Structure 1
Amino acid sequence: MTLAESRIEDAYPTRLGSGTAQLLERTDPTVWGSENDGPFDAAGLASHDAKGYTILEGLLSPAEVQGYWQELVRLSSDEELKTDERVVTEKKSGEVRSIFEVHKISELIGELARDPRILDRARQILGSEVYIHQSRVNYMPGFRGSGFYWHSDFETWHAEDGMPKPRAVSCSIALTDNYPFNGGLMVMPGSQRTFVQCMGETPDDHYKESLKEQEIGVPSEDDITKLAAECGIDQFTGPAGSALFFDSNIMHGSGNNITPYPRSNIFLVFNSVENTLVEPFAASKPRPTFIGARDFTPLTR
């Protein structure tokens, strides 16, 4: 499919150069599978379908949490790795903010992506085999951790990676306790049913700036206000080892962390093998593959 063809068939136009951004009704399901396809029962799937997210406390044991935490410390302390383009640092402090394609950098995290507790749920929600679209670890240190402004991941993945439909689900696994006050992720339940168009054309190599601080591909304050009034705001809190499965199009964000308590997580994005990437819908070229993978090989245990 050529770039021109992919834009003609675009069901979720965004990054508008003129006109007014609209709130578009989503035309695709949130849940594609059934209770017979995996660990979620019918009630769990119905809840995920309604809210666009599911929190599972205790997905990882304390011993597992400790092992993955030590792995994150090792990765963030690797001086050679800090020169890798897959490592993103804080705009102001220079501290490590994220490490992308971490399932390939770390054998331990690569195994976690194939863990049936995670993989089987991703397959069930998406109703198909899946592959890793993106993986990363996020570090939010105490006192200096900066948050992420309100956004839909799918808006970016659609515009800049060429993901056709919001048939992807993310799994965020907390390796530290998530409190209401240390920059925990906020989500708008039910907002996954609305695609929020954004204004502003995508600059070349936009990812170099957006991974530190996103300014293009964010909704207007008016649209955020409308969604919040309709959906409300929930927050992902819970002990280390908890996991949040959330829809690719749900509106979410996080505040800065000015507390002494750090917040770190492993972030795995599963995309359906029936939703593989085409040319970007609102960018001149795809982002690097460590941000938006173009190897669509299904994950196996």
Structure 2
Amino acid sequence: MTLTDTRVDDGYPTRITGTPEHLPRVHPTVWGTEADGPIDAATLANHETKGYTVVEDTLSVGEVQTYWQELVRLSTDKELARDERVITEAKTGEVRSIFDVHELSDLIAELVRDPRVLDRARQMLGSEVYIHQSRVNYMPGFKGSGFYWHSDFETWHAEDGMPAPRAVSCSIALTDNYPFNGGLMIMPGSHRTFVQCAGETPDENYKASLKDQRVGVPNEDDITRMAAEHGIDQFTGQAGSALWFDSNIMHGSGNNITPYPRSNIFLVFNSVENALQEPFAASVPRPAFIAGRDSTPISR
């Protein structure tokens, strides 16, 4: 395996030997301007500072119900259940995530091209965009397990070959998000620092990490330091709300032991000018259903 610290062109070395460091981000968060889309200048500036933006009522009540029914259909499709794009909970065997959903669902394919979504992605990234990853996440009541603290870009850089953090995620809630049902926690401003992780990437690491990520996560000292510096916000709000967050922001979620499920549609847009290369810290790229390698721009 070729480790990233041997690559002279890597601005974000990770999966290192030795003690991880906190590296300053060398790329902007917002690449476009107010003139490029629906987001006003003040909101763009706030997104640049905090690394995330919440857009209430992105979907109407009726649309939420339509997409919720689509999630139920996908999770109960017996033929699809045998597909490797369906990830199940390590302990219960229940559906945890379904990847590549914009290829599996015409409804979600339409959502990707919806101006309410696509125009914001283009504006934030200052270019045409394509889907790096799409999935639906299921966190059922009582049994839903969380996601440990991590930066998505660390994995996308190390295992997928994403050169720079010029990607943005859109998480659209299909259930109400409360402080107590495993809602996403974010460290505002943490996107301006790249936290290195230690250790080599095992072969086919994705098969384990999609259920329970152990490689490519910061150590407890680094998480403590980041929390002390940035604090922790939590995404709460009604179904239909959308959380837009930078690819390098530190985030995670706890287990859901309440009766209230928490499900969302998760779309990752990458700039066509930031197309994937060979992985920076893995022997081979992850499968295309996890990290799309076709950077053809999305068209309406």
Residues 134 and 269 in structure 1, CA contact (< 8 A), matched pair in contact too: yes
3-state SS in 2 of match to 1:245: strand
Q: TM-score, normalised by structure 1?
A: 0.98
Q: CA deviation at 1:8?
A: 2.5
Q: Give unmatched runs, 5+ long, in structure 1.
A: none
Separation of aligned partners in 1, 2:279 and 2:271: 17
| Corresponding residue number in structure 1 for 2:126 | 127
Q: How does 1:151-300 map to 2 (within 5 A)?
A: 151-300=150-299
3-state SS in 2 of match to 1:8: coil
- The one-letter code of the counterpart of 1:212 is K
| Corresponding residue number in structure 1 for 2:32 | 33
Is 1:104 the equivalent of 2:103?
A: yes
Q: Deviations over 1:193-249 (max 9, x none)?
A: 000000010000000000000000000111111110110000000000000000000
Q: RMSD between aligned alpha carbons? A: 1.3
Residues 3 and 282 in structure 2, CA contact (< 8 A), matched pair in contact too: no
| Corresponding residue number in structure 2 for 1:20 | 19
Aligned identity (percent) is 77
- The one-letter code of the counterpart of 1:207 is Y
- The one-letter code of the counterpart of 1:25 is P
- The one-letter code of the counterpart of 1:80 is E
Q: CA deviation at 1:251?
A: 0.1
Structure 1 pair 199–3 and aligned structure 2 pair: CA distance change class (3 A): closer
Residues 4 and 15 in structure 2, CA contact (< 8 A), matched pair in contact too: no
Q: TM-score, normalised by structure 2?
A: 0.98
Q: How does 1:56-67 map to 2 (within 5 A)?
A: 56-67=55-66
- The one-letter code of the counterpart of 1:123 is R
Q: Deviations over 1:243-282 (max 9, x none)?
A: 0000000000000000000000000000000000000000
Structure 1 pair 79–116 and aligned structure 2 pair: CA distance change class (3 A): same
Residues 187 and 251 in structure 2, CA contact (< 8 A), matched pair in contact too: yes
Q: CA deviation at 1:7?
A: 2.7
| Corresponding residue number in structure 2 for 1:136 | 135
3-state SS in 1 of match to 2:278: coil
Q: Give unmatched runs, 5+ long, in structure 2.
A: none
Q: CA deviation at 1:299?
A: 0.5
Q: Deviations over 1:129-170 (max 9, x none)?
A: 000000000000000000000000000000000000000000
Residues 3 and 280 in structure 1, CA contact (< 8 A), matched pair in contact too: no
Q: CA deviation at 1:19?
A: 1.5
Q: Deviations over 1:7-27 (max 9, x none)?
A: 3210000001x2110000000
| Corresponding residue number in structure 1 for 2:8 | 8
Residues 6 and 279 in structure 1, CA contact (< 8 A), matched pair in contact too: no
Structure 1 pair 6–280 and aligned structure 2 pair: CA distance change class (3 A): farther
